[in-house]
């Protein structure tokens, strides 16, 4: 009888939460557990920011140094769980839900690894962020490209401009282009591994250009469609 009740309880949770949501909740709880485990041996002032040369140049109080990321993860979990439920176009999100679920797992995995890097640095294991962050962020950016290519019109995920939100055609054309541009940006960002102090530029510049261009492109596609409809 008890086993049956446990099975029913587990099934109820599964209906409420996707596997991806369960994973990110687990990672969030694990980050709190790790923080509590190491809290007593961490320094009172923790490195929390690094300059372009990979040198720590920003510090914060131990409590915030160790618990800020887990707290941020809590709010991010809530946002990611709510998005597919409150979006007015949630039926469209259901069409690419597996890609969105993969994205949130990758996003949380990256955030969790950043958290572990901060923790390990303050425990005395100094790994230059320029040697690992370009690789981590390149993987996420590449998958953003994949997500864009499969996304359907919605209010929260993708390139959301007045023009993409007003037309499925504009949305699809814009996101096909965005997918290619973000994948290319990911490849370019990997080059930062070979340029040390300039690594951050190989990440920020191509991503910023890609994001800006897709916004402009969505307007141009919308204007072209409007022009055709009037003639």
Q: Return the pLDDT at 4.
A: 52
Give the helix/strand (H/E) hosting 57.
strand 56-61
pLDDT at 16 over 70: yes
pLDDT in tens, 165-219: 999 999 999 999 999 999 999 999 999 888 878 888 999 999 999 999 999 999 9
Work out the pLDDT band at 12, boundaries 50, 70, 90.
Answer: very low
Q: Return the pLDDT at 192.
A: 87
Work out the pLDDT band at 3, boundaries 50, 70, 90.
Answer: low
pLDDT at 38 over 70: yes
pLDDT in tens, 70-124: 999 999 999 999 999 999 999 999 999 999 999 999 999 999 999 999 999 999 9
Give me the mean pLDDT over the 138-166 stretch. 97
Q: Return the pLDDT at 197.
A: 83
Q: Return the pLDDT at 166.
A: 95
pLDDT at 60 over 70: yes
Q: Would strands 45-50 and 56-61 be described as parallel, antiparallel, or unpaired?
A: antiparallel
Q: Return the pLDDT at 15.
A: 60
134 and 202 Cβ atoms separated by less than 8 Å:
yes
Least confident span in 124-128, 158-162, 176-180: 124-128
| CA nearest neighbour of 46 among 120, 111, 129 | 120
pLDDT at 33 over 90: yes
Predicted TM-score (pTM) of the model is: 0.88
65 and 13 Cβ atoms separated by less than 8 Å:
no
Give me the mean pLDDT over the 10-23 stretch. 73
Distance CA 172, CA 128 (A): 40
* Residue bearing the bigger pLDDT, 3 or 58: 58
Q: Return the pLDDT at 9.
A: 47
Give me the mean pLDDT over the 150-157 stretch. 97
pLDDT in tens, 138-147: 999 999 999 9
Distance CA 147, CA 140 (A): 10
35 and 66 Cβ atoms separated by less than 8 Å:
yes
Q: Return the pLDDT at 32.
A: 98
Distance CA 231, CA 225 (A): 10
Distance CA 59, CA 79 (A): 28
């Amino acid at each position: 009888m008890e086993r049956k009740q446990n099975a029913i309880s587990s099934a109820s949770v599964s209906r409420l939460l996707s596997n991806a949501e369960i994973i990110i909740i687990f990672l969030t709880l694990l980050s709190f557990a790790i923080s509590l485990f190491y809290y007593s041996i961490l320094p009172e002032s923790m490195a929390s920011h690094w300059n372009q040369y990979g040198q720590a140049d920003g510090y914060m109080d131990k409590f915030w140094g160790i618990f800020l990321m887990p707290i941020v993860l809590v709010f991010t979990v809530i946002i990611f769980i709510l998005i597919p439920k409150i979006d007015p176009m949630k039926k469209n999100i259901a069409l690419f839900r597996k890609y969105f679920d993969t994205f949130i797992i990758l996003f949380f995995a990256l955030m969790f690894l950043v958290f572990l890097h901060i923790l390990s640095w303050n425990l005395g294991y100094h790994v230059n962020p320029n040697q690992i962050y370009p690789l981590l962020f390149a993987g996420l950016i590449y998958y953003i490209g994949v997500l864009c290519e499969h996304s359907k019109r919605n209010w929260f995920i993708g390139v959301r401009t007045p023009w993409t939100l007003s037309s499925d055609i504009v949305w699809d054309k814009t996101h096909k282009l965005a997918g290619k541009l973000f994948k290319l940006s990911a490849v370019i960002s990997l080059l930062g591994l070979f340029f040390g102090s300039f690594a951050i530029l190989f990440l920020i510049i191509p991503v910023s250009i890609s994001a800006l261009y897709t916004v402009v492109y969505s307007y141009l596609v919308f204007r072209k469609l409007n022009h055709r409809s009037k003639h």
